[in-house]
A and B are shown apart, each in its own frame.
Chain A
Amino acid sequence: MTQLKAAMAGTVFTVNVAVGEEVQAGQVIIVLESMKMEIPVETEVAGKVTAINVQVGDFVNEEDVLAEIEA
């Protein structure tokens, strides 16, 4: 299982996938907004989304786990 973590503190701008969805390596799973910038969070592995831990508008800290993917 691969954890998708926030690279920096910010708020969740969009959640692009749902639990159960199949995703490709390099796909943008979540977009954060921080310092007025869109910060795309990509998955490095292909697989199935098993958990989404955040909702749009949530504040997240660096290293927080945003989603989990089963390769």
Chain B
Amino acid sequence: MMTKLTGQTVYNEKLEKRINEVFAGGQQKYHDKLKEQNKLFVRDRLKLLFDDGQYTEDGRFANCEAGDLPADGVVTAMGKVNGQTVCVMANDSTVKAGSWGSRTVEKIIRIQEIAEKNRVPMLYLVDSAGARITDQLDMFPNRRGAGRIFHNQVRLSGFIPQICLLFGPSAAGGAYIPAFCDIVIMVEGNASMYLGSPRMAEKVIGEKVTLEEMGGAKMHCSVSGCGDVLVESEEIAISEARRYLEFFPANFTEKPSLKGSIEAKAGRTLEEIIPENQNAPFDMYEAIDALIDEGSFFDIKKLFAPELITGLARIEGQPVGIIANQPKVKGGVLFVDSADKAAKFINLCDAFSIPLLFLADVPGFMIGTKVERDGIIRHGAKLIMAMSSATVPKISVVVRKAYGAGLYAMAGPAFEPDVCIALPTAQIAVMGPEAAVNAVYSNKIEAIEDPKEKIAFVQAKHKEYKEEIDIYKMASELIIDEIIAPSNLREVLADRFRFYSTKELPLPPKKHPVYPV
């Protein structure tokens, strides 16, 4: 049937045509390239991200008069994730490789402002070649130029959750978007971050290197620590972002939501998992599984500094941030990178009212020339400051040994944990028995000539030392608050986190501490 075109219909048809041009994104050849790279088109990413694929967009007609720059290469939108409103900016790499022009930048700034006013999480779906150098005067140095995006990110940090999903490059200045986010999820093979491309590195400093080596997802998630979660595909990146957001409130004034309790994974008991011999390794992941609701663990920086585990989980439905030494890797000793990793994770949890659980089995901070030159003292200070200044409920569990500053770093008694619980295998000391006896009696030991006598002397001193640091003596002196059987730990933690959920701990008034970095 022929419809008679009225004036209004003509207007609407024109509008529909213009909208469809915007929705189509860049030229077909760039869409084909996406397919080759196993990438999704920006609007398909958004459909996967939002509940029911629904979103409300701003600035759709940005640069629509230019003809070949639909939406100016970025989609900015609001929608729901797990029923919670969020704001999103998402680069469209089919439009001039997702590069930033002045309207691109203005749209990103505006969606950040909307996130701030509405106090809702901000997600950055990054796939961008960086600034359009031809447009630099319009988008680089101004008050509302690209720098303002980072300034806003800093303003929003700790105010609302900020999440980065890296699907492609995040180049030069653009690489600071992930750097200022709470968490960066990177797609293996496609995601990359770098200040200067391999081509630029060759020209400027003469280095020949591949993109993957220089700034690939795997490198950043395992070596530099700029990436937090390495995933195989864009679909997994999006589902992981949705899962991550479940742990977080919309903003710092709210509390994270509770879920129904799920039983811990069936498996060996903590008594079976934790060896009595303090020096023998075991897998802390298995111990964590025995404590948390099955399937709730969200590992953060799994591949980076694996001697320390940091991750979100639920215990009887309550969200907690877990910081646990991993005796299976490097003996669970704290290094420069592990201190960095823990400091950021603790800051993240504290900012959004996620209680902290420390599982200590730590011989201390690493010693030796290498780590001293790397600045282990200031990195350790960073961790201790983050832990110490966190005001969320903190439970410290001494699983086995907690020696030296390791005890401090893992929220030992002096750092006001709400409770310091020891398992019967706990051992708290400045250093382990072997090291301590050597330190105190080395001259005496050397002076004993008879080997049998020497061994007997050392053994006697070990015994004396072990009695001195006996865990019941520590409990008797109220150094630790409680000793419990490992099999009761999950229940005890769940009860205590419920009790502490009303905790308030005001800090002395000041602008901010002077952060060690």
Residue of B nearest to A39 (CB): B331
Does A8 lie within 8 Å of B330, measured CB to CB? yes
- Residues of chain A within 8 A (CB-CB) of B367 are 35
Most buried by B among A9, A35, A39, A40: A35
Does B370 lie within 8 Å of A61, measured CB to CB? yes
Interface residues of A in 14-39 (CB under 8 A from B): 34-39
Does B370 lie within 8 Å of A34, measured CB to CB? no
- Residues of chain A within 8 A (CB-CB) of B278 are 36
Tell me whether B505 is interfacial, beta carbon within 8 Å: no
Find A38's partner among B279, B370, B434, B435 (CB 8 Å cutoff): B279
Chain A count of residues within 8 A CB distance of the other chain? 12
In the complex, A62→B335 CA distance in Å?
Answer: 12
Tell me whether A51 is interfacial, beta carbon within 8 Å: no
Does A35 lie within 8 Å of B370, measured CB to CB? no
Does B330 lie within 8 Å of A7, measured CB to CB? yes
Interface residues of B in 27-81 (CB under 8 A from A): none
Does B434 lie within 8 Å of A39, measured CB to CB? no
Does B279 lie within 8 Å of A36, measured CB to CB? yes
Does A35 lie within 8 Å of B363, measured CB to CB? yes
CB distance from B193 to the nearest CB of A (A): 25
- Residues of chain B within 8 A (CB-CB) of A35 are 331, 333, 363-364, 366-367
- Residues of chain B within 8 A (CB-CB) of A40 are 281
Does A37 lie within 8 Å of B368, measured CB to CB? no
Does A37 lie within 8 Å of B363, measured CB to CB? yes
Does A36 lie within 8 Å of B368, measured CB to CB? no
Tell me whether B332 is interfacial, beta carbon within 8 Å: yes
Residue of A nearest to B431 (CB): A36
Chain B count of residues within 8 A CB distance of the other chain? 20
CB distance from A16 to the nearest CB of B (A): 15
Tell me whether B380 is interfacial, beta carbon within 8 Å: no
In the complex, A14→B243 CA distance in Å?
Answer: 44
Residue of B nearest to A37 (CB): B331
- Residues of chain B within 8 A (CB-CB) of A34 are 330-331, 333
Find B435's partner among A7, A9, A36 (CB 8 Å cutoff): A36
In the complex, A10→B85 CA distance in Å?
Answer: 52
- Residues of chain B within 8 A (CB-CB) of A8 are 330-331, 333, 335, 366
Interface 0/1 of A52-71, CB less than 8 Å to B? 00000000011000000000
- Residues of chain A within 8 A (CB-CB) of B281 are 37-40
- Residues of chain A within 8 A (CB-CB) of B364 are 35
CB distance from A47 to the nearest CB of B (A): 23
Interface on chain B toward A: helix, strand, loop, or mixed SS? Answer: loop
Interface 0/1 of B165-198, CB less than 8 Å to A? 0000000000000000000000000000000000
Does A36 lie within 8 Å of B434, measured CB to CB? yes
In the complex, A39→B327 CA distance in Å?
Answer: 9
In the complex, A62→B367 CA distance in Å?
Answer: 12
Does A62 lie within 8 Å of B279, measured CB to CB? no
Does A39 lie within 8 Å of B363, measured CB to CB? no
Does A37 lie within 8 Å of B333, measured CB to CB? yes
- Residues of chain A within 8 A (CB-CB) of B370 are 9, 61-62
In the complex, A35→B279 CA distance in Å?
Answer: 9
Interface 0/1 of B328-361, CB less than 8 Å to A? 0111110100000000000000000000000000
Does A37 lie within 8 Å of B327, measured CB to CB? yes
Interface residues of B in 433-452 (CB under 8 A from A): 434-435
Does B368 lie within 8 Å of A38, measured CB to CB? no
Residue of B nearest to A38 (CB): B279
Residue of B nearest to A8 (CB): B330
In the complex, A14→B394 CA distance in Å?
Answer: 39
Tell me whether B249 is interfacial, beta carbon within 8 Å: no
Tell me whether B432 is interfacial, beta carbon within 8 Å: yes
In the complex, A37→B435 CA distance in Å?
Answer: 11
In the complex, A21→B368 CA distance in Å?
Answer: 34
Does B368 lie within 8 Å of A9, measured CB to CB? yes
| Given A8-B366, A62-B370, A37:B434 Cβ within 8 A | no
CB distance from A31 to the nearest CB of B (A): 10
Tell me whether B280 is interfacial, beta carbon within 8 Å: yes
In the complex, A70→B405 CA distance in Å?
Answer: 41
- Residues of chain A within 8 A (CB-CB) of B280 are 38
- Residues of chain A within 8 A (CB-CB) of B368 are 9
CB distance from B49 to the nearest CB of A (A): 35
CB distance from A37 to the nearest CB of B (A): 3
CB distance from A32 to the nearest CB of B (A): 9
In the complex, A7→B366 CA distance in Å?
Answer: 12
- Residues of chain A within 8 A (CB-CB) of B432 are 36
Residue of B nearest to A40 (CB): B281
Interface residues of B in 274-307 (CB under 8 A from A): 278-281
Interface 0/1 of B412-426, CB less than 8 Å to A? 000000000000000
- Residues of chain A within 8 A (CB-CB) of B366 are 8-9, 35
In the complex, A36→B361 CA distance in Å?
Answer: 13
CB distance from A27 to the nearest CB of B (A): 15
In the complex, A8→B335 CA distance in Å?
Answer: 10
12 contacts between A and B (CB under 8 A): A8-B330, A8-B331, A8-B335, A35-B363, A35-B367, A36-B279, A37-B281, A37-B327, A37-B331, A37-B332, A38-B331, A62-B370
| Complex A-B, nearest 4 residue pairs according to Cβ-Cβ distance, in ascending order | A37-B331, A35-B363, A36-B432, A9-B368
Q: A7-B330, A34-B330, A38-B279 are in contact. List 4 more A-B contacts (CB 8 A).
A: A7-B329, A36-B279, A37-B363, A39-B331
